[in-house]
Structure 1
Amino acid sequence: MNQDFSADRPISKQIEDKFQRFEFAKRVATTINNRKNEDCIVIGLYGAWGEGKTSLLNFIESELLKNENILCVKFNPWRYTDENALLNQFFQKLADTLDSNLKTKKEKAGEILKKYGKLINFELPGVGNVGETLANTGDVLDIVDVEVLKGRLEEILKKTKSKIVIFIDDIDRLDKIEIHSIFRLVKLTADFSNTTYILSFDEEMVSAAIGERFGQGDQRSGQNFLEKIIQVPLKIPSAQPESLKDFCLEIVENAINSNNIEITQEEIRQFFYQFTTNILVRLDTPRLAVRYGNSISFTMPLLYKEVNIVDLLLIEAIKIFYPEFYSFIKSNPSLFIAASNTTLGKEIQESRQQQLNDLGKDYTSSQKASALRLIQQLFPIRQDDTIFSSFDKNIIDVWFKNKNIVSPKYFNKYFSYSVMKGEISDIVFQNFIDEVISLNRDEVNHALKTLIEQSSPDNLLYKLRSIEQEINWEKSKKISNSISDISDLFPSYQKSLFLSFGAPKSQAALFVYHLIRKHDNKEEQYQFSKELLSENSKFNFAYDLYQWLKEKEKDDYKYFTNDEKIELENILLDKALEESKNNSIFEEFPDYANDLFLIWINKEKKDLHKYIKKILDKNPKALLDLIKIYIPTATSTAVKGPYKSDFSEDNYNYFISLFDKNYIDKIVNKIFSKNELDSKEVRWTRMHENKQDDINIIRQFRYWFEKDISSIDSNLNPL
């Protein structure tokens, strides 16, 4: 047996990225590249074992290496057996990197770093004073103050305009003493200017290990310790909120300005109200403000124009100031996302409220109330006396248009920090809408095809429908023409009795109809409708569009005159005949054949009969396809899928009102012999387990035909 196993190893190439994290890593790298502040900063990349932290580090490093002024150092502390080796190798590796990359006239940065590493006063259990131990070897030639050496090193870094990015992975594989050593190294000993640390670990595991050594000995103590070390915590992917009123608002404003985020006065007002009402109550340290500022500085560029900016600022505030509530929301989207066709029963309402109350046990009553108000702002719930009521579809459409977090289409974006596969980027979509007027027809076709390939026909139509009232007539014509050109990319659900009207093809036609309907010039409405039906559109799409235009007319408003309708219907008939080619129109378009026959009869019934005679004379068995058009399609729990039921007397009478019954009977005799037809009695599906077949369909026709002829004979020869 051949067994092909996939290696459990980190990846480093974009082409290997199956979880859509490369763009996130790229934006993280860009942010580090553009950072102006020279202070050392520590970024924490949080994720469970096996979640892809090392792969994400590889992506970030590959992007940073494109900048020749950035030096990357990767350090894995798990490879070293004790604290002594860990610290020694850290400074050795950093020194080697500086020596090989920073060229200075006077002295090498690496040499300074080696001396610095030997002089640091860093005592470890069982090892003693590392600096003293190393100094006794005689390697330190000059006794120089630690801060002087650090200053000389930082001066070199500033002069060379270099930045150092140090990656430390697998911290969660160390024991609690080694974990503390790493954090102490980063924060107290190696916090050099122009240096960025990216530390990768499982937050829960590390905080639990650290908590055993500090504070109350619990995980919360460990989390508090981590907050002092990690200035920018990122989950895979993740970030956000904090600070005292003016200080925090200044940080927020700086974050907005530095990332070139456009925000309106109304959006500022909305955020400021929620900030002063529901966030300030939890803002008790400057560190919270810095963490919030650092967090939104990372998330806003990732999601700018992809989500509602105010909702993003507020959900990030919940993450920093009310983390338990944030986790509950993220893990229970069904309790928060708006839906037009569902209701939340009283039991679910009470369960949700109880869970929210349980989450707030560590908060004061004021803080808990603020958290719940903030959640209500982001996830508005309409209530009556007994249940959470379902929402009106119009308000859900508004939430979608505004990119609110409560919208089912946007909720996940706020937590994934990226446009996931199958979604359409709002930036790309808006650029298309803005530029469509300047594009030629082929370019519009290509743009729409690309959006469909990146997402789906349903998602594209959902976005188009959300802005249809804002699309002017010139843009409407361009988009409509292109949808018509590429209508084959919008599938139909022909095997479903109930879903066909909700199929993308029908919905695409409905969208184009809406664009035509809202135009206020009837002559232009008609001419453009005629153009759409005449040109590149396929028959199926043209037919659906005409049906929407015809069915949505009202007594007090008609889109077309009777003569215009006849002209449009004749265009449809000609298009169907052209596309059917060697097949008959009832074989090629069985769902539309009856309407086409009626159009033809209104035009000239004799021509229809000639057409049918030509088809059936050449291929008598095509009669079965013709008759099946007039047999109802049924469903039953006893039969898998839709099936043809009985050719009833009403069906027969309607059928012979369109076609010559005597000619049809002659064709029947060409398909089946009299012996074949008489070998069994006619069967009716309702009495025979819903079973139907071709010869029985013909027997049903003959049953009504013979009854019809017998009735005529009786009338001609009364007793």
Structure 2
Amino acid sequence: MSVTAKGSDILGKMSENFSQKAKLNEKTLVEIREELITALKSRTTPLLIVMDDIDRLTTVELRMIFQLIKANTDFPNVIFLLLFQKDIVEKKLTDITQSGENYLEKIIQIPFTIPQIQLKQVHEVLVNLLESVINSHTDADKKFDQRRWVEIYHNGLKNYFNNLRNVYRFNSTLCFNFNLFKNNDIFEADPIDLIAIECLRVFEPNVYSKLSNSKEAFTSLGSVSSNNQTDKVKYSRIIEDIFKSTSEKNRESVEGILKTLFPTTQWIISNYYHDYSSYQEWFTQLRVCHKDHFDKYFKLSFDSENFSTSDFIDFLQQTSNRTQLKEKILALDARNILEDFLSKFEAYSKQVPKENFESYLYAMFDTCEEVNIESSSSIFFTAQRRLFRLSFWCLESIENRQERAKLLINYINQYSNFSIIEDILIEEHKSRDNNADTLLDDSDFEQLKKDFILKLSQFCISNPDSIIKNPSFRSFMYRWIEWGNSSDTLNWFESETQDIQGILKILKTMIQSTTSYGGSYTKPHVKRYIKADTVIKFLNIPRISHIINSADFSILSEEEKELIEMFKKGIENRTNNRDDLDD
């Protein structure tokens, strides 16, 4: 026999021996019960077994539990404490053989009836627990609007808290989710909105689920001018469907809560229209009714990939330091998110402290010409345009018109950043043409314009290459020739176009382009051209043409040759009265 076979035989015999010994050592249930009785008798205090929430069990589960209790009631020093709502258990245990009340009488030896707690007391417990949650974060406590709380509480929230079980169930989940929105010193949600949304999540899961997928219907801001009936009908159906997602008993409560949470729906439900300033205010308040905050209430976190409230608070704090704010603006621009950030910061702009106005304005003036003009998704909402809007609103906030002028005149006389100052001057011109309100008195306006042109002309003479490379060069030149001495402008252009390379530098700034699309699946066609009217405004065509015709084309690049062709084509089109876009 092999070693393996012998080993297997030995193990088998050992196993049989152990099994036989185990059977000899086994005790009967009676023996085990007697030992347990002896052990329980020796206890100096009874063993208390507490069973809570029995009324939440099914009928089958209830019968099993009571059978188990009945089978163990004769153990000494053992007490079963059963907690349940009597009428619910009696109803579940009632069948054709006996009533639930009689069933319980056979098992329950000493019944205790706890008086029904008053609803007022339940709500006092709720309020105390909520205060504890809110007070756990200073910023949440600051954001808590007592007026809004009373409104939403009485509009439906209170109806979900008619017993202590609901109160404690709600509080436990709220405590957990509340902590998710603590971001250092900032609470990243409106605490009242968070409480209300959490109430729907716990007690109205169907409403919560549908609401989370209905962002557009609940956060769109309608306007009287647009009067989009198609959207209004569509959103109305969505809202009504959500109202009907609850029971008839709770429908009024759900409607009250949602209408209070989402004033944005008033244009759909009651033809009342809020203006955009209200929508911006809801953004700064982190309200769920704003499209930029809606999602985080249903993710139960704030999205780290978007801007948090602390980002805007940090930006506000840095308005006191011009250098730091400038670095912050350029850092946002380097990440290609400046335009998006500034568009959202507009809602916070009114919170800039007055004592920070100068550093805040000057930082925006400083950076306007440094930000990347190609990073914006729209020519109408560029980062530069956002900087101008913020600057203009800040100046409007300064009540003293002479103080506004002083800030602008001091800046242009000290620094060579022209873009926002130019935009302000253009806006002032438009206001005067339209008899609208202006930022500046006429005398200060003329002085600012004079200083702007003087500083621009000085900079052009001392830094010609720098001004030519400025993205706003052509616009600056129009201002110079329009508001200043045109002969100075033309003389400067002549001095910069003495040779072919100088001419090419200037012509490059005069290129315009249009984009056309031939069809859905074709690449866009970009046409570049130079309008003769633009060239004639600043250059002497015969002189420029003579220099170009005398140039050695063999040393020019293909791009430079193309530039000259665009110039010649523009002159030819003007001579023949043809459109520059014609091929």
- TM-score, reference length from structure 1: 0.53
Which has more radius of gyration?
Answer: 2
The structure 1 residue matched to 2:303, chosen from 399, 420, 424, is: 420
Matching residue's letter, 1:359 = S
SS at match of 2:266: coil
> 2:132 aligned with 1:254, yes or no?
yes
Distance 1:532 1:339, change over 3 A: farther
Q: How far, CA to CA, are the matches of 2:540 and 2:406 in structure 1?
A: 38
What SS class does the counterpart of residue 500 from structure 1 fall into?
A: coil
Say if 1:627 and 1:486 are closer, same or farther in 2 by CA, change over 3 A.
closer
Distance 1:247 1:634 in 2: 68
2:566 matches 1:697: yes
> Relative contact order (C-alpha < 8 Å, sep 6+): which is higher?
1
Residue 513 in structure 1 maps to residue 392 in structure 2: yes
Residues 597 and 577 from structure 1, CA distance in 2 versus in 1: closer, same or farther, beyond 3 angstroms?
farther
Distance 2:333 2:300 in 1: 22
* Alignment check: 8 A CA contact 1:510 1:548 kept: no
Q: 1:373 to 1:664 in 2, by over 3 A?
A: same
Letter in 1 for 2:288: I
Secondary structure of residue in 1 paired with 2:155: helix
SS at match of 2:527: strand
Q: Paired residue for 1:402?
A: 285
Aligned counterpart, 2:210: 328
User: Aligned partner of 1:318: which letter?
Assistant: L
Q: Is the 8 A contact 1:539 1:575 kept in 2?
A: no
Does residue 482 of the first structure (1) align with residue 363 of the second (2)?
yes
Partner of 2:528: 644
The residue that corresponds to 1:309 in the other structure is 191
**Aligned partner of residue 216 in structure 2, secondary structure:** helix
Between Structure 1 and Structure 2, how many residues are aligned?
451
The residue identity in structure 1 corresponding to 2:545 is D
1:458 is displaced (CA, Å) by 3.1
Amino acid at match of 1:338: S
1:667 pairs, out of 534, 547, 559, with 547
Q: CA deviation at 1:278?
A: 0.7
Contact 2:515–2:525 at 8 Å: present in 1 too? yes
Please give the secondary structure, in 2, of the residue aligned with 1:254.
helix
* Alignment partner of 1:656 is 2:532: no
CA distance in 1, matches of 2:371, 2:45: 68
Asked if structure 2 preserves the Cα contact closer than 8 Å seen for 1:405 and 1:414, the reply is yes
Q: Percent identity?
A: 14
Structure 2 distance, partners of 1:255, 1:319, is 18
Report the Cα distance in structure 2 between the residues aligned to 1:249 and 1:315, rounded to whole angstroms: 17
Once residues 423 and 463 of structure 2 are traced to their aligned partners in structure 1, the CA distance between those partners, rounded to angstroms, is 16
Report the AA paired with residue 364 of structure 2: I
Q: Which residue of 150, 153, 165 corresponds with 1:287?
A: 165
Q: Which residue of 1 aligns with 2:455?
A: 571
Superposition deviation, residue 503 in structure 1? 0.4
Structure 1 residue 598, shift from structure 2 partner: 4.6
What letter matches 1:308 in structure 2?
A: D
Post-superposition offset of 1:270: 2.4
Give the structure-2-normalised TM-score: 0.64
Give 1:278's aligned residue: 156
Report the alpha carbon displacement of residue 511 of structure 1 after superposing the two structures with TM: 0.6
* Contact residue 506 and residue 544 of structure 1 kept, 8 A: no
- 2:489 equivalent in structure 1: 608
Q: Find the aligned partners of 1:706 and 1:316 in 2 and give their Cα distance.
A: 73
Aligned-residue offset at 1:463? 4.4
CA drift of 1:465 comes to 1.9
More helix by share: 2
Q: Aligned equivalents of 1:294 and 1:338: distance in 2?
A: 33
| Shift in CA distance, 428/562, structure 1 to aligned 2, threshold 3 Å | closer
Mapped to 2, the partners of 1:474 and 1:526 lie a distance apart of 17
Instruction: Check whether the contact 2:512–2:529 (CA below 8 A) recurs between aligned residues.
Output: yes
Question: What value does the CA root-mean-square deviation take over the aligned residues?
Answer: 4.5
Structure 1 counterpart of 2:134, which letter?
I
- Aligned equivalent of 1:172: none
Task: Provide Cα deviations, 1:478-526, integer angstroms capped at 9, x if missing partner.
Answer: 2222233444674324998xx3341012211221122123212233222
**Cα distance change, pair 598–379 in 1 and its aligned pair in 2 (3 A):** closer
After TM superposition, the structure 1 = structure 2 runs for residues 199-598 of structure 1, keeping only pairs within 5 Å, are 244-260=122-138, 263=141, 267-303=145-181, 305-339=187-221, 343=228, 345=231, 347-353=233-239, 355-360=241-246, 363=247, 365-380=248-263, 381-383=265-267, 392-427=275-310, 429-430=312-313, 433=316, 435-436=317-318, 440-446=321-327, 456-487=337-368, 490-493=371-374, 499-535=378-414, 538-540=417-419, 543-544=422-423, 546-548=425-427, 550-552=429-431, 555=435, 557=438, 559=440, 560-575=444-459, 581=465, 585-586=467-468, 588-589=469-470, 591-598=472-479
Q: 1:275 to 1:495 in 2, by over 3 A?
A: closer
CA contact (8 A) 1:405 1:411 kept: yes
Q: Distance in 1 between matches of 2:141 and 2:411?
A: 40
Query: What is the distance in 2 between the residues matched to 1:547 and 1:557?
Result: 11
Per-residue deviation, 1:327: 1.5
Whole-angstrom distance in 2 between the partners of 1:132 and 1:369? 63
